[in-house]
Amino acid sequence: MSIDAKIALTGTVIASLGAVIAIITAWVAIKQSVEAVKQNKLSQIAIQAQTFLTIVNTAREIRFSEGMDIIRGFKYKNYKTYRSKETRQTQLHVREVVDFLNDLMHMIEHGYLTEKQVMSIYYVSILACANHLVPWWTEGFREEHGSEYYYITFEDLCNQVKSLGEGYALNWDQEYKLG
């Protein structure tokens, strides 16, 4: 074999090795990208789980269920009557419940919680707030505190849930399977 043939063969071998190395490198890069996507998804799930646990603990901390019992008993149509008849403690408790639900809606809007997570647990309570607080409480609070923007997110959440109706609450388990 001539020297030129040997040089050409060596060049072909080196080029082939280069192609094999390029293929292996591309395969490794793809595999790493797939793993990074999986890791990002796991991180997102972990953040959502932590947020969800924080929400549940906050609900317990503010005695959310007790606050909802109070709200479900309201027959008010006027904020001033509510302010004159309810104790300061009750008013603060109602405000904590409203703050909590307002915050939930913000967390949905920013992607920390999903609509499914919130609706599967708090739908009935949000509907009760829509029926027993909106619009008289939100309008009265805004007037008392001098801003038309307070609790717009809470009111929007209540109105959206109210538009879905009670039938949605009865059938949520058909759409959202446990587990």
The residue range of the domain holding 83 is 62-175
Pair 84, 38 in one domain: no
d(CA 166, CA 62): 26
Query: Which pLDDT does position 179 carry in this prediction?
Result: 42
- CA 112/CA 1 separation, integer angstroms: 70
74 and 19 inside one domain: no
Distance set, CA 141 to CA 88, 149, 162 (Å)? 14, 10, 20
* Tens digit of each residue's pLDDT (9 = 90 or more) over 78-93: 999 999 999 999 999 9
Are residues 75 and 157 both part of a single domain? Answer: yes
Task: State whether 36 and 67 are in the same domain.
Answer: no
Q: Is residue 55, in this structure, part of any structural domain at all?
A: no
pLDDT single digits (tens) 107-133: 899 988 888 888 889 999 999 999 999
- Classify residue 147 by its DSSP letter: -
pLDDT in tens, 45-79: 888 788 888 999 999 999 999 999 999 999 999 99
**Residue 77 located in a structural domain:** yes
Name the domain count of the chain. Answer: 2
Q: Is 29 helix (H, G, I), strand (E, B) or coil?
A: helix
Q: Say yes or no: 71 and 34 in one domain.
A: no
> Has residue 4 been placed in a domain?
yes
> By C-alpha distance, which of 157, 158, 136 is closest to 86?
136
13 and 74 together in one domain: no
Phi, psi of 46 (to 5 degrees): -65, -40
33 lies in the same domain as 90: no
Whose CA is closest to 114, among 105, 101, 127, 125? 105
How many residues does this entry show for the chain? Answer: 179
Q: For residue 97, how many other CB atoms are within 10 A of its CB?
A: 24
Q: Are residues 76 and 113 in the same domain?
A: yes
Can you tell me the distance from the alpha carbon of 134 to that of 155, in angstroms, rounded to the nearest whole number?
7
Is 146 part of a structural domain of the chain? yes
Q: pTM of the entire structure?
A: 0.74
